[in-house]
């Protein structure tokens, strides 16, 4: 397993720039940061380089500080292209392997067409950047357009870009389908990045609804080569929640 720490959610007992060293000391192989846009690029590059950690993923678009929706690639009339260019610039500067494009809250055929069009444009605009889309359950993000794994796979295939793949979050898969292993089996051929957290409360991937021993064994059996990122909220200090990476 190539393990990755989501520094937006893990090691939050430390100042942000100290989390890189903590992740390295804990045995992680990479890190991801959901929204790094408030941090100076040279400072993040320094921490990544000093600790020998690649940056696995960041999110697009940058956060909306006026309280608007997070993401709008499927929202007709939104300013997707302008913000994508900014996010892609950050991803390139930081060496982020994946850039997750968030769909936003929308519904219907027009939203789907908008999403596909924006994804095709983004894939052509940044042909050397790996892009992902992620089904997110509507309990956590009500109205989120992409809340179905079959639809996520269908959209990836319809866009048909070699640099667009699916992001598989086991927490969301369990919340949406109740069958993590079955969902993985259906979409694994288009998955580029895996995230883990336990249901129902997005805690550490130990005891709970999801059998993570079985999932990790299945990922290994199926030859998954990408990152497995811990994206969850520890109940106590992060170090006490890391048995899963061993």
Q: Can you list the residues of the chain whose pLDDT is less than 70?
A: 64-69
Give the span between the Cα atoms of 57 and 130, in whole angstroms.
9
Question: 13, 18, 107, 231: which one is catalytic?
Answer: 231
pLDDT in tens, 4-20: 999 999 999 999 999 99
What local confidence, expressed as pLDDT, does residue 207 receive?
Answer: 80
Residue 134 is among the residues annotated as catalytic for this protein: yes
The set of residues, in sequence order, having a beta carbon less than 8 Å from that of 171 and lying 6+ positions away, is 195, 196, 197, 198, 199, 202, 210, 231, 232
Domain that holds residue 113: 2-245
Give the Cα-Cα-Cα angle 57, 62, 68 (nearest 5 degrees): 130
- The interaxial angle of helices 180-187 and 170-177, nearest 10 deg, is 110
Question: 134, 151, 158, 239: which one is catalytic?
Answer: 134
What local confidence, expressed as pLDDT, does residue 206 receive?
Answer: 85
Give the Cα-Cα-Cα angle 114, 116, 122 (nearest 5 degrees): 100
What local confidence, expressed as pLDDT, does residue 61 receive?
Answer: 87
Q: Give me the CATH number covering residue 199.
A: 3.20.20.150
- Tokens at residue 218, please? 């299945």
Give the span between the Cα atoms of 121 and 127, in whole angstroms.
10
What local confidence, expressed as pLDDT, does residue 69 receive?
Answer: 67
Residue 76 has what DSSP assignment?
A: T
Phi, psi of 184 (to 5 degrees): -55, -45
Instruction: Give alpha helix (H) positions in the chain.
Output: 19-26, 41-51, 80-94, 109-125, 149-159, 170-177, 180-187, 212-221
How many domains are there within the chain?
1
What local confidence, expressed as pLDDT, does residue 222 receive?
Answer: 98
What local confidence, expressed as pLDDT, does residue 113 receive?
Answer: 98
Residue 231 is among the residues annotated as catalytic for this protein: yes
What local confidence, expressed as pLDDT, does residue 126 receive?
Answer: 98
What local confidence, expressed as pLDDT, does residue 66 receive?
Answer: 53
pLDDT in tens, 123-137: 999 999 999 999 999
């Amino acid at each position: 397993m190539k393990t990755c720490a989501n520094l937006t959610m893990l090691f939050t007992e430390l100042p942000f720039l100290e989390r890189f060293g903590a992740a390295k000391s804990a045995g992680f192989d990479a890190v991801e940061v959901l929204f790094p846009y408030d941090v100076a690029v040279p400072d993040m590059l320094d921490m990544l380089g000093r600790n020998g950690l690649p940056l696995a993923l960041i999110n697009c678009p940058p956060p909306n500080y006026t309280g608007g929706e997070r993401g709008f690639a499927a929202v007709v009339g939104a300013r997707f292209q302008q913000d994508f260019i900014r996010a892609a610039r950050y991803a390139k500067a930081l060496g982020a392997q994946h850039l997750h494009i968030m769909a936003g809250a929308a519904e219907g055929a027009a939203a789907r067409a908008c999403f596909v069009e924006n994804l095709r444009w983004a894939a052509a605009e940044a042909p050397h950047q790996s892009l992902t889309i992620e089904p997110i359950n509507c309990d956590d993000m009500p109205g989120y357009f992409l809340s179905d794994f079959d639809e996520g796979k269908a959209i990836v295939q319809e866009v048909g870009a070699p640099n667009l793949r699916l992001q598989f979050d086991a927490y969301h898969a369990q919340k949406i389908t109740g069958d993590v292993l079955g969902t993985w089996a259906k979409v694994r051929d288009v998955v580029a990045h895996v995230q883990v957290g336990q249901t129902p409360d997005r805690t550490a991937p130990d005891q709970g609804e999801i059998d993570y021993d079985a999932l990790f064994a299945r990922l290994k059996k199926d030859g998954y080569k990408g990152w497995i990122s811990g994206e969850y909220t520890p109940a106590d200090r992060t170090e006490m929640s890391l048995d899963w990476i061993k």
